[in-house]
């Protein structure tokens, strides 16, 4: 079984910063990626649009040029969303959009995940003109949909969790107030979020990672496989099923690939664990596993991996192709971040990817 697919866009990836970026970008190119949405939670974060970097913040203009220099020139397109903070103003949005440098903005709940301590409450942007300006300019809002500051059962329990809470309490208000705002619900993990996206307007879509399609929290806990520790956390079987159903639906136009691939050279620390799964070099192979890719669902797989995302972002579908063959492979991964399958103790992948 061998399938030829158009090169695809990873519409949620962390390349971080500095010298290791070259390896991470190369790993993405090696897995048939023709473009990316590169996350702005660098150190310091990308909270300004243009001009020079400072010690407190980076600019999209500068980070884009860093990414290109590190090999990203080979991508058809790179989008760097602006990291929304309490200092983001409607004026920054309007001017940035006019220049064409600003194409998307990223909402992080304060202290939601790695390097996200600069985020502010969602309500602030609903009131201070930022979301209005984005809606007006047609910019895309990338949302990390988790409520911050919850504890115990409400943070992670049988009937509620941080994502569930966010999609029940914040998202309905957001889409009601800004009905034409283009929203990508990033790395959704729950049935609640999948249901929300399914019933929302066509302006509301979602990315899903390979790990959330393949695993549940039980996989993380049994043997404490900390390479599966990512945020939002893996959830339960009913959630995984809802994500799979959404992604593999024949009529799916709203759910697409965004790996949230996050390289950590030190995953387990002395007092905890860095959040994020590294899937550079291996993501299409894992998505193919999740879909149980075959002749019958090839079109649906193609929609999810290669077509729905660029369609929503207004990007051109690549004319170049790559192949996936149902044959075990041992991918060579550049750099020293440990890819997910290795972290889980697997030497081989079930699929072979060739460019």
Name the site residues for Zn ion (rule: CB under 5 A).
260
Least CB distance from residue 283 to Zn ion, whole Å?
13
The least distance separating Zn ion from the CB of residue 129, rounded to whole angstroms, comes to: 26
CB of 209 to Zn ion, least distance (A): 9
Angle at 17 between CA 13 and CA 19, to 5 degrees: 120
Q: How far is the CB of 230 from Zn ion (least distance, A)?
A: 8
In this structure, how many other beta carbons lie within 10 angstroms of the beta carbon of residue 148?
19
Active-site pick, 260, 289, 296, 316? 260
Least distance (Å) between residue 14 CB and Zn ion: 6
| Cβ-based nearer residue to Zn ion, 61 or 260 | 260
Q: Closer to Zn ion at the Cβ: 11 or 102?
A: 11
Cβ contacts of 51 within 8 Å, gap of 6 or more:
59, 61, 62
Q: Least distance from C-beta 228 to Zn ion, angstroms?
A: 15
Quote the CA–CA distance of 19 and 11 in Å, as a whole number: 22
> Of 30 and 260, which CB lies nearer to Zn ion in the complex structure?
260
Among all chains, which residue has been given the structure tokens 């980076």? 58
> What is the per-residue DSSP string for 210-265?
HHHHH--HHHHHTTT-GGG--SSPP--HHHHHHHHHHHH-TT--SEEE---B---S
Decide whether 133 or 283 has the Cβ nearer to Zn ion. 283
Nearer to Zn ion, 10 or 260 (CB): 260
Whether the bond between 330 and the residue before it is cis, its omega within 30 degrees of 0, is no
CB of 135 or CB of 260, closer to Zn ion: 260
Whose CB is nearest to Zn ion?
260
66 is catalytic: no
The maximal CA–CA distance of the chain, rounded, in angstroms, is 53
Adjacent-strand bridge partners of 327: none
Strand ranges of the sheet holding 33-38, from the earlier edge strand across to the other edge: 8-13, 33-38, 77-79
Residue 112, CA atoms < 13 Å, CB-side half-sphere: 24
Contact 106, 142 (CB under 8 A): yes
List active site positions: 260
């Amino acid at each position: 079984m061998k399938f030829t697919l158009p090169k695809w866009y990873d519409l949620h990836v962390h390349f971080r910063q500095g010298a290791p970026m070259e390896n991470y970008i190369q790993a993405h190119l090696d897995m048939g990626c023709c473009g990316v949405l590169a996350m702005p939670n660098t150190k310091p974060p990308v909270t300004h649009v243009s001009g020079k970097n400072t010690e407190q913040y980076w600019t999209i203009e500068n980070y884009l040029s860093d990414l290109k220099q590190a090999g990203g020139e080979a991508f058809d397109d790179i989008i760097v969303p602006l990291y929304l903070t309490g200092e983001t103003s409607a004026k920054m949005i309007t001017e940035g959009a006019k220049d064409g440098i600003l194409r998307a903005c990223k909402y992080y709940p304060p202290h939601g995940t790695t390097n996200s301590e600069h985020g502010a409450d969602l309500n602030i942007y609903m009131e201070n003109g930022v979301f209005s300006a984005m809606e007006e300019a047609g910019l895309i809002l990338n949302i990390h949909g988790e409520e911050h500051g919850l504890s115990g059962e409400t943070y992670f329990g049988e009937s509620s969790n941080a994502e569930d809470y966010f999609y029940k309490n914040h998202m309905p208000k957001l889409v009601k107030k800004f009905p034409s705002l283009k929203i990508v619900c990033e790395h959704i993990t729950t049935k609640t979020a999948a249901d929300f996206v399914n019933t929302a307007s066509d302006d509301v879509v979602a990315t899903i990672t390979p790990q959330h399609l393949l695993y549940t929290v039980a996989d993380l806990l049994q043997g404490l496989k900390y390479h599966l520790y990512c945020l939002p956390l893996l959830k339960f079987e009913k959630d995984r099923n809802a994500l799979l159903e959404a992604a593999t639906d024949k009529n799916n136009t709203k759910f697409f690939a965004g790996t949230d691939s996050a390289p950590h050279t030190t995953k387990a620390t002395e007092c905890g664990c860095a959040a994020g799964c590294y899937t550079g070099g291996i993501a299409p192979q894992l998505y193919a596993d999740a879909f149980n890719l075959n002749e019958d669902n090839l079109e649906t797989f193609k929609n999810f991996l290669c077509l729905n995302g660029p369609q929503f972002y207004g990007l051109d579908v690549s004319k170049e192709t790559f192949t996936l063959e149902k044959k075990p492979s041992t991918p060579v991964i550049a750099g020293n971040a440990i890819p997910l399958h290795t972290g889980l103790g697997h030497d081989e992948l079930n699929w072979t990817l060739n460019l």
